[in-house]
Structure formats: structure tokens, C-alpha cells
């Protein structure tokens, strides 16, 4: 025998559907919500009256959904049977007789939707929580067998994790229309390849990406920086990657929804007022994926007028197309990379380029990241993994730079690779990094006589130390020719060289297998620089580029002192 009882208007406020088998001795009481003449009266309301679950009408069909109880304008945040509507009333939502699943049946007992789990619950309860999460669980326990938060439709509520959670992807799929909750082609989902980022797809076409998480916000959404109203939570590890948010102000409610090609955040007064659009993306043409083509920079002015420009060191692939405002082919390099003499140009306030094919190392800093990029001839750019506390971690790009944009503020620095000859004088690596590398370092690139910017004598007591480009030293030593070799020790080899201006130098080229790290090398150079003395061989500068670690000394004639000490005549004081 099976007894049934409908939840009608008199039971508003009850937040559970239950199979009470503990006293029925095998004859469970199945509590249900059904449609029919008065189907709108049969609802399930969360205990705090925040959310309501029940049937609603869209078009000429009925659906099971969840909406805000107190918001005057009915706002559906979840739909169970979005692609299997009830076409013949009455429909019935109930816990199955064996207590394993929630199911929605048509009047002909055809199952339109089910939780489809294999749980064997003894005393099952279906409960609508004040968070908007609809759960199936064992009564009087916290053991959840199924929950709607694992199966979002088009909306993220506070606490709902969107991304890759518990071995499954949680995506958002837009309604097909304002009165049609069925699935459309527009999907907001996580791409785990490379450096994970969320994006909106129109079928198989990438429409918008919000950039990777940089420790503060998504790279392409600088407006996410919290004003205290919201807390944004992003977690990424070997087991899961997800995003969620929380509201710090109990007087408001908020939801994140994908509406066709747009991701929108709405806020409303928690009582019953209407919704206000808080922000949305894409915000302008620059947010359209690849708007300016490869190797180009997209930016807008205050009037949101599109501006596409080739990156410095690049030129339009088709001048004619660019004149016609067709930038889809993008830009190509003016000078090919040669690996050994390349440098970088900075794009500030950037939305990082497409991260599908990047490599990530969260254990190293920006300087090591630059060195790693230089050592990889396929590397075309790099950036910090995290911008908090001055920046940390390393992201390296290979191939073309796609979907790079620049904001007026709020982005992060991106460094892209060009031939050294293409770098503007004020963009050279030595000038950009002199305050980072050494307290006493000043740049020298490539001529010795421009090293001292304040006009101090290059042979005075100034403790500043120039940086030499690797290709300058290579040219001075005839590419480290064997005939220029002066000696060799456990840590490297010394070569004789001559700078372009005629100044002779001795270059100590440290062995690439040396265990000395970058920081140790920097500290040693600073110490030697501060020990400059008229009776000591003068350290003229150094080179840190890729794997290269080199010290440049003034060249002294008449060989080494050891030939006098050990093989020459007796020396007197």
C-alpha cells in the first residue's frame, strides 16, 4: 500500500520532501509536488523563506525550478527539466518508491527527469536550503547523496562552485530565450589546459575569455576587485579548480548569470526590490576574442572606441586589410628572433593573452621567469603567475600572442619577446631592471661610454656597475674564440676581448653547470664592485642573460702574477 500527500499552499514554509519509512513497515509515505489545475500552489519553500521550488510556466510548458521567494519579479535560478518540459499535466515531482532518487513524471508516468544516482537511502529527505541548493540526503544527517549545486543551469549563487569540482565540470548554459529555459549554444565553462581560465563559447566558437586568475581577480575582469560587498574565492590544485563568491552584506542578494553571449552580475535589495545590473562582460569590442588578430594590442578610449595596433616590433600582415579595418589576420614580426640577442617589451595594465598553450611554474620569480624564457627559443612572452605582494610565479607563452588587450588600469604587466634591435631605448631590459638587479648597477648597452648617466668618470670611485649585452661580449671575444682564451678554472673560462671603442677586456665566463645560483652571483658581483681599488684589477661590468653569467674585467698586460712568483726571479720588497 502506498499513501500520497500533496504539498499545497497550507504547507508553505516546509522545506523538505520525505519518505518516512521508519514507521511505515515497508509502506512508505511518498510526499510529492504535482501540477494540475492549481499546480502553482504546490511549492517547497526554504526554512528562511529565501528560495522557493515548484512548477513554473514558460511558453506553453511547465518546468520544475527554483526562484527567489521575496523578489517581486520571479527570477528562476535553477531548472531541473529544462530540456524535458512537462507537456501533459499533471506532472509529479517525488522521491521514488525505493528512496533512491528524485524524479519528475508526466501524467502517463513517463520519467522526464531524475537525479539518476545509485544511492540506497534508508530514510531519504529532499530539502531546499536557504542557499538555493536543493539536496537529496539521509534524514537527520549531513550526508548529501545529490544536490542541485552540482548541476547548475545558467546561474551561480553565493557558495556555488563553478568549474571542475569532485571530478566533474560544472558549466553554465544560457536559456534559449527570455521565455524558454531550454539549453542554448552559449556556454560559460572552464578550460583546464595551460593556465586555467573561464570563457564563453557559442557552440564551438570561442566568444569571450575572462583571463586566468592572478591572485586578485581574473586577468580580464579588473572590475572584480572587491569593494567589501563581495568576497571572491578561487581555488586551483591538482584535484579541483573552481570559482565562487560570497556576499558580505546581508541586506542584498546577488547572482551571476550567463545570458546568451553575456556574463552578468545582478544585485537587489533582499526584501523585494527589482534587480540592478552590477557589471557585465564582454564590456566592449576588445573583449571579443581575437578582435585585433594575433600579435596585436586591443584598447579602447573613454568612449569605448576600438583601437587595434600591432605590437612594437610587428607590422600588419596585410596593410590593405588594416586600411579597410579588417585586422583579423593580425601582425607579423619585422625582425625575426635569433634567440641569443632577443629582449622584451612591457605591456602594462594588460589582460594576459590566451593561455591555452602556456607553461606555469609557481615556484620561481619574475627574473628567473625571464631567464627561462630566454633559454627557450620558442618562448614569445612571460608574466607573473600571481600579482599579490609584488608578484610571484611564472607563466611562459609559446607561439603567437592572441587576444591581448590593455586597460586604463587594473591589469598586470606582460612581457613579449622581440629582436634586440626592435626594443626602444627606454625599454631595454637593463634600464627596466637596474633597480631590481643590483642596488649599485647602472646599464651599459652596448657602448661603455654611456654607462654613467650622472656624468661620473668611468675610472673614478663610482661603485655603479654596468650590464653588458651577451652579443656585445660575444663580438668582443670573437664568439669566445679558442685563441682568445687566457685561462680556465673550476668555475669558468677567461677570454681576452676588445670592445667596439678599442678598450681591451678580460671576460670570465662562468660554467653553465656551476652550482652558483642567480642570487649568489648577484651578491658576489655587488661585493666585487664595492671593492674597486687602484691596485686591483677593475671589474667593469657583468652579464646576466639566459644561461650566461659573465664578469667583465679590465685587461692587464704581462700575463698573470703567478708566472713571476713561481717561475721568475726573486722578488724584493
Residue 448 confidence class, pLDDT cut points 50, 70, 90: very low
* Residue 492 confidence (pLDDT): 79
* Residue 438 confidence (pLDDT): 39
In the chain, CATH 3.30.200.20 sits at 429-554
* Residue 223 confidence (pLDDT): 79
Matching residue, cell 596585436? 296
pLDDT 10s digits, 323-356: 888 999 999 999 999 888 899 999 999 999 999 9
Average pLDDT rounded to a whole number, residues 54-65: 93
Full-prediction pTM beyond 0.85?
A: no
**pLDDT value at 442 more than 60:** no
Q: What is the DSSP string of 282-348?
A: --SGGGSTTTT-TTEEEEE-TT--EEEEEPTTEEES-HHHHHTT--TT-EEESS---SSSEEEEEEE
pLDDT: is 516 or 442 the higher one? Answer: 516
**pLDDT value at 463 more than 80:** no
CA distance linking residue 443 with residue 466, whole number of Å = 5
* Residue 571 confidence (pLDDT): 59
Q: What is the mean pLDDT of the chain?
A: 82
Q: Residues marked as binding?
A: 508
pLDDT: is 430 or 66 the higher one? Answer: 66
Q: Residues marked as binding for ATP?
A: 508
* Residue 224 confidence (pLDDT): 80
Q: In 76-87, which positions are buried (b, 16+ CB within 10 angstroms) versus exposed (e)?
A: bbbbbbbebbbe
**pLDDT value at 289 more than 80:** yes
Q: Outline where DSSP puts E strands in 352-459.
A: 359-361, 379-383, 394-398, 404-406, 412-419
* Residue 304 confidence (pLDDT): 67
**pLDDT value at 212 more than 60:** yes
Average pLDDT rounded to a whole number, residues 511-539: 69
**pLDDT value at 373 more than 60:** yes
pLDDT 10s digits, 302-320: 666 778 999 999 999 999 9
Instruction: Kindly state the cell numbers that stand for 238.
Output: 591538482
Average pLDDT rounded to a whole number, residues 246-269: 94
Question: 420 in helix, strand or coil?
Answer: helix
Could you tell me the fold of the domain covering 1-151? Agglutinin, subunit A (2.90.10)
Instruction: Kindly state the cell numbers that stand for 97.
Output: 518508491
Residue 496 confidence class, pLDDT cut points 50, 70, 90: very high
Average pLDDT rounded to a whole number, residues 116-136: 90
Cβ neighbours of residue 244 under 8 Å, at least 6 residues apart? Answer: 156, 158, 159, 160, 161, 162, 233
**pLDDT value at 455 more than 80:** no
**pLDDT value at 40 more than 60:** no
* Residue 567 confidence (pLDDT): 64
Instruction: Kindly state the cell numbers that stand for 280.
Output: 557585465
CA distance linking residue 203 with residue 189, whole number of Å = 12
pLDDT 10s digits, 545-559: 767 788 898 888 876
In the chain, CATH 2.90.10.10 sits at 1-151
- From residue 307, alpha-carbon distances to 315, 352, 530 in Å are 15, 17, 49
**pLDDT value at 37 more than 90:** no
* Residue 41 confidence (pLDDT): 55
Residue 517 confidence class, pLDDT cut points 50, 70, 90: low
- For the chain, the C-alpha Rg in angstroms (whole number) is 33
Residue 62 confidence class, pLDDT cut points 50, 70, 90: very high
Q: What are phi and psi of 307, to 5 degrees?
A: -135, 110
* Residue 3 confidence (pLDDT): 30
**pLDDT value at 173 more than 50:** yes
Q: DSSP class of residue 80?
A: S
Please determine, looking at this structure, whether the domain spanning 429-554 carries the CATH number 3.30.200.20. yes
* Residue 426 confidence (pLDDT): 61
Average pLDDT rounded to a whole number, residues 263-285: 90
Amino acid at each position: 500500500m502506498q499513501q500520497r500527500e500533496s504539498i499545497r499552499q497550507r504547507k508553505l514554509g516546509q522545506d523538505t520532501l520525505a519518505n518516512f519509512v521508519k514507521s511505515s513497515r515497508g509502506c512508505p509515505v511518498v510526499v510529492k509536488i504535482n501540477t494540475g489545475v492549481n499546480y502553482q500552489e504546490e511549492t517547497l519553500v526554504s526554512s528562511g523563506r529565501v528560495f522557493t521550488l515548484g512548477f513554473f510556466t514558460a511558453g506553453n510548458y511547465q518546468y520544475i525550478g527554483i526562484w527567489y521567494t521575496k523578489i517581486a519579479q520571479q527570477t528562476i535560478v535553477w531548472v531541473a527539466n529544462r530540456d524535458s518540459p512537462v507537456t501533459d499535466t499533471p506532472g509529479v515531482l517525488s522521491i521514488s518508491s525505493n528512496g533512491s532518487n528524485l524524479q519528475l513524471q508526466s501524467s502517463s508516468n513517463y520519467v522526464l527527469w531524475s537525479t539518476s544516482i545509485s544511492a540506497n537511502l534508508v530514510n531519504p529527505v529532499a530539502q531546499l536550503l536557504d542557499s538555493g541548493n536543493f539536496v537529496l540526503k539521509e534524514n537527520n544527517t549531513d550526508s548529501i547523496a545529490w544536490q542541485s549545486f552540482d548541476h547548475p543551469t545558467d546561474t551561480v549563487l553565493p557558495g556555488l562552485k563553478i568549474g571542475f569540482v569532485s571530478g566533474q565540470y560544472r558549466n553554465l548554459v544560457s536559456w534559449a530565450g527570455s521565455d524558454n529555459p531550454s539549453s542554448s549554444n552559449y556556454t560559460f565553462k572552464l578550460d583546464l589546459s595551460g593556465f586555467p581560465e573561464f570563457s564563453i563559447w557559442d557552440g564551438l566558437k570561442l566568444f569571450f575569455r575572462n583571463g586566468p586568475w592572478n591572485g586578485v581577480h581574473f586577468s580580464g575582469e579588473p572590475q572584480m576587485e572587491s569593494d567589501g560587498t563581495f568576497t571572491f574565492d578561487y581555488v586551483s590544485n591538482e584535484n579541483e579548480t573552481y570559482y565562487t563568491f560570497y556576499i558580505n552584506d546581508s541586506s542584498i542578494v546577488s547572482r551571476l548569470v550567463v545570458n546568451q553571449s553575456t556574463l552578468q552580475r545582478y544585485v537587489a535589495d533582499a526584501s523585494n526590490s527589482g534587480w540592478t545590473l552590477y557589471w557585465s562582460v564582454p564590456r566592449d569590442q576588445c573583449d571579443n576574442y581575437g578582435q585585433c588578430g594575433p600579435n596585436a594590442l586591443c584598447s579602447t578610449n573613454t568612449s569605448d572606441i576600438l583601437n587595434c595596433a600591432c605590437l612594437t616590433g610587428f607590422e600588419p600582415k596585410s596593410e590593405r586589410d588594416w586600411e579597410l579595418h579588417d585586422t583579423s589576420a593580425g601582425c607579423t614580426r619585422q625582425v625575426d628572433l635569433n634567440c641569443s640577442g632577443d629582449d622584451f617589451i612591457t605591456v602594462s595594465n594588460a589582460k594576459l593573452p590566451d593561455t591555452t598553450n602556456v607553461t606555469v611554474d609557481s615556484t620561481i620569480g619574475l627574473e628567473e621567469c625571464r631567464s627561462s624564457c630566454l633559454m627557450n627559443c620558442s618562448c614569445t612572452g612571460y608574466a607573473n603567475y600571481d600579482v599579490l605582494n609584488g608578484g610571484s610565479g611564472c607563466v611562459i607563452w609559446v607561439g603567437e600572442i592572441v587576444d591581448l588587450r590593455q586597460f586604463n588600469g587594473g591589469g598586470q604587466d606582460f612581457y613579449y619577446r622581440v629582436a634586440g634591435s626592435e626594443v626602444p631605448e627606454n625599454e631595454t631590459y637593463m634600464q627596466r631592471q637596474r633597480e631590481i638587479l643590483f642596488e649599485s648597477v647602472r646599464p651599459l648597452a652596448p657602448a661603455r661610454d654611456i654607462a654613467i648617466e650622472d656624468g661620473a668618470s668611468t675610472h673614478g670611485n663610482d661603485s655603479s656597475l654596468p650590464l653588458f649585452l651577451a652579443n656585445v661580449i660575444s663580438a668582443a671575444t670573437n664568439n669566445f674564440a679558442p685563441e682568445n682564451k687566457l685561462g680556465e678554472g673550476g668555475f669558468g673560462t677567461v677570454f681576452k676581448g676588445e670592445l667596439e671603442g678599442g678598450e681591451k677586456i678580460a671576460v670570465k665566463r662562468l660554467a653553465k653547470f656551476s652550482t652558483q645560483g642567480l642570487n649568489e652571483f648577484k651578491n658576489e658581483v655587488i661585493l666585487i664592485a664595492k671593492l674597486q681599488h687602484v691596485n686591483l684589477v677593475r671589474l667593469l661590468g657583468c652579464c646576466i642573460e639566459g644561461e650566461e653569467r659573465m664578469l667583465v674585467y679590465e685587461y692587464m698586460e704581462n700575463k698573470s702574477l703567478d708566472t713571476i712568483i713561481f717561475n721568475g726571479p726573486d722578488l724584493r720588497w
